[in-house]
Amino acid sequence: MTINQKVLERFLDDNGRVKQMPSKYEKKLNVLYYLASKFECGKLLTELEVNQKIEEWINFEDYVTIRRFLIDMRFLERSSNGKEYHVNEFEINWNRKISIKNV
């Protein structure tokens, strides 16, 4: 997977917030990786904290779908009882090692 800054920039506003979610899979991965990078590794979060962090970095009203995408793509993991979330450090670190351009 290659993270491409030019692709990412098309989906960010002047403040670095995501202005829309791309429909194409590869572009969506760029944006999701960017959003996942905003979470602190090693920290347990509540659903509310995850939602707040996502809302901080998007400028549209769909944090629930973004949270689901982050979980589905394994950037975030959720506890079996659904009360705690954390960054999947393996997934984030693995993606950092694979050909990331200008991010």
Going from N- to C-terminal start, the domains of the chain cover 3-101
How is residue 54 written in tokens?
């996502």
CA distances from 14 to 23, 51, 57, 87 (A): 21, 22, 12, 26
Which architecture characterizes domain 3-101 according to CATH?
A: Orthogonal Bundle (1.10)
Measured CA to CA, the distance from residue 71 to residue 88 in angstroms comes to 9
Q: What is the pTM of this model?
A: 0.83
- Condensed to tens digits (0 to 9), the pLDDT of residues 4-61 reads 789 899 999 999 999 999 999 989 999 998 999 899 888 999 999 999 999 999 999 8
